[in-house]
Chain A
Amino acid sequence: MPQRFSFLSLARGALDGHRSWPEQWRSPDRPDADYDVVIVGGGGHGLATAYYLAAEFGVRRVAVVEKGWIGGGNTGRNTTIVRSNYLYPESAALYDHALKRWEHLSTALNYNVMFSPRGVLMLAHSVHDEQVFRRHICANRLAGIDNEWLTPAQAKAFCPPLTLAPDVRYPVTGAALQRRGGTARHDAVAWGFARAASARGVDIVQNCEVTGIDRDAGGAVTGVQTSKGPVRAPRIGVVAAGHTSVVMAMAGLRMPLESYPLQALVSEPVKPVFPCVAMSNAVHAYVSQSDKGELVIGAGTDQYISYSQAGSLQILTQTLEAICELFPTFRRLRMLRAWGGIVDVTPDRSPIIGGTPVPGLFVNCGWGTGGFKATPGSGHVFAATLARGEPHRLAEPFSLDRFSTGRLIDEAAASAVAH
């Protein structure tokens, strides 16, 4: 068990310039020969799954195998917008399950994930946007989730850098505001779950790529092949985001997924100027300000599938044009870095959580462009599903077989994008 963080321990750490902190989680060089559950993928969702398996469902012999370093995938590349105002009741329930956990996550993990519910403002630019948002607001209120309509003047009061100029290409006609939404610190989420999981006996093995899935004569999984040798386990949970199709192909499964590059960028740091999160689905611009002072800006996906972890320049240009027009004060800011992540997109833009036709093989994927916000809830319902061998109540509608039964949860039609 690592030492608990407290005011006293931080003060003690400060005395020697924070040089004596021990490692916060065990990082075994190789996996053991067998486990009860092996999680493939050490992003936020995989680590959260492992944590809840050990902390809430009493499954102790759990390994997380990660081909690179933990949090190096989309978890460490995203723009960290957290909200739960999705349209359909199934989605709203799932994302709000997560949002309720965000509110207490730092305490639960004894690790500051810097959750900051500063409000998420979704800008409307047309009559169509306005009608869609008002419908969202009504649906959310019925589901007990906060979401409110702001007039352009109210939106400007909430987010002063916003322009209300009528002569821009997409003038602001109003906004939907979820006050409980906000941001959290991406690395801290991965590290906090890793530390808490490791303290409960979970082995986190980095630089360990899964290269095959072993099955018995009846087709059930018996373990995985990794770059550090074979590991036996009766249950495998694949949480590999953009690489899910590649891992599932090892068990002969074709998935309803396509992997696209999604980009983000940050500006040079400036003094606090941006009090909330603002997003515009219509023009693909998402912006907030980090505690370091950088503007964190999210862009759209490329139009073709790719695993290159880099997107095209015209996508960034389009987003920056939109940002400069909506927030004219940012026109002379310089951009520091841009990067891409590979996001796994489903046909209905809703995730897939649960079992597969292969006995013992479970999957948690399809979070696409908007899964960071779900990290604690996703980990929790997936852990319940893995531990019991049957879907958690909130995960049930998100089963893989909805693509043959036709019960899609069509957030794609609801918003076209889902950050």
Chain B
Amino acid sequence: MLLIPCPHCGDRPEIEFRNCGEAGIVRPTAADDAAWTAFLYLRSNPRGLHAERWRHVHGCGRFFTLHRHTVSDRFESAP
């Protein structure tokens, strides 16, 4: 289980949080198939540092972005 640093509540156990996937996925403004495919489905899924959204659902409710290394599962500071 991860220990997740909520910017509002500090370190809390993972079961209080919902993972919301890759950060920085921006909704396209134009009706363009390629842009919408990328927005809806394509992900970097890296073996390495991953910028991801979390939500403290069973806590303060806040959304925030963290960087985690996907091999060690450790949170690291933003690159």
Task: Identify the A interface with B (CB < 8 A).
Answer: 243, 245-246, 249, 254-259, 303-308, 312-314, 347, 403-404
Please, which residues of chain A bring their CB within 8 A of the CB of B71? 306-308
**What would be 22 A-B contacts, judged by CB atoms less than 8 Å apart?**
A243-B47, A245-B44, A245-B46, A245-B47, A254-B38, A255-B43, A256-B37, A258-B21, A258-B45, A259-B70, A303-B18, A304-B68, A305-B52, A305-B70, A306-B73, A308-B73, A312-B2, A312-B14, A314-B15, A347-B41, A403-B37, A404-B36
Contact A254 B33 (CB under 8 A): no
Interface hub of A258, A303, A304 (most chain B Cβ within 10 A)? A304
Please, which residues of chain A bring their CB within 8 A of the CB of B73? 306, 308
Mostly, the B contact residues are mixed
Interface check B50, CB cutoff 8 A: yes
Contact A254 B70 (CB under 8 A): no
The interface bits of chain B over 9-49 (1 if a CB of A lies within 8 angstroms of the residue's CB, else 0) are 00000110011010000000000011011101111111100
Interface check B1, CB cutoff 8 A: yes
Closest residue of chain B to A257 (Cβ to Cβ) is B45
Contact B70 A306 (CB under 8 A): yes
Contact A404 B37 (CB under 8 A): yes
Contact B45 A303 (CB under 8 A): no
Q: How far is the CA of A255 from the CA of B47 in the complex (A)?
A: 13
Interface check B72, CB cutoff 8 A: yes
Closest residue of chain B to A256 (Cβ to Cβ) is B41
Closest residue of chain A to B54 (Cβ to Cβ) is A304
Q: Which of B33, B43, B72 touches A256 (beta carbons < 8 Å)?
A: B43
Q: How far is the CA of A404 from the CA of B28 in the complex (A)?
A: 14
Closest residue of chain A to B43 (Cβ to Cβ) is A258
Please, which residues of chain A bring their CB within 8 A of the CB of B14? 303, 312, 314
Task: Identify the B interface with A (CB < 8 A).
Answer: 1-2, 14-15, 18-19, 21, 33-34, 36-38, 40-47, 50, 52, 68, 70-73
**What's the minimum C-beta distance from A306 to chain B, rounded to whole angstroms?**
5
Closest residue of chain A to B36 (Cβ to Cβ) is A404
Contact A307 B70 (CB under 8 A): yes
Contact A313 B45 (CB under 8 A): no
Contact A256 B50 (CB under 8 A): no
**What's the minimum C-beta distance from A94 to chain B, rounded to whole angstroms?**
20
Q: How far is the CA of A257 from the CA of B68 in the complex (A)?
A: 18
Contact A308 B72 (CB under 8 A): yes
Please, which residues of chain A bring their CB within 8 A of the CB of B42? 254-256, 403
Contact A259 B45 (CB under 8 A): yes
Contact B37 A307 (CB under 8 A): no
Contact B47 A246 (CB under 8 A): yes
Please, which residues of chain A bring their CB within 8 A of the CB of B37? 256, 403-404
Interface hub of B21, B42, B52 (most chain A Cβ within 10 A)? B42
Q: How far is the CA of A259 from the CA of B72 in the complex (A)?
A: 14
Contact B43 A254 (CB under 8 A): yes
Please, which residues of chain B bring their CB within 8 A of the CB of A249? 44, 46
Please, which residues of chain B bring their CB within 8 A of the CB of A257? 43, 45
Q: How far is the CA of A297 from the CA of B50 in the complex (A)?
A: 30
Interface hub of A249, A307, A308, A403 (most chain B Cβ within 10 A)? A307
**What's the minimum C-beta distance from A68 to chain B, rounded to whole angstroms?**
15
Closest residue of chain A to B68 (Cβ to Cβ) is A304
Q: Which of A314, A347, A403 touches B1 (beta carbons < 8 Å)?
A: A314
Please, which residues of chain B bring their CB within 8 A of the CB of A403? 37, 40-42
Contact A255 B45 (CB under 8 A): yes
Q: How far is the CA of A32 from the CA of B25 in the complex (A)?
A: 42
Given known A312-B2, A313-B1, A404-B37, contact A304–B52 (CB-CB < 8 A): yes
Interface hub of A255, A305, A347 (most chain B Cβ within 10 A)? A305
Given known A254-B38, A312-B1, A404-B33, contact A303–B46 (CB-CB < 8 A): no
Kindly list 12 other residue pairs between chains A and B, CB separation below 8 angstroms, not including A246-B46, A255-B43: A245-B44, A246-B45, A249-B44, A255-B45, A256-B41, A257-B43, A257-B45, A304-B2, A306-B70, A307-B70, A313-B1, A314-B1
Q: How far is the CA of A314 from the CA of B38 in the complex (A)?
A: 33
Q: How far is the CA of A347 from the CA of B70 in the complex (A)?
A: 20
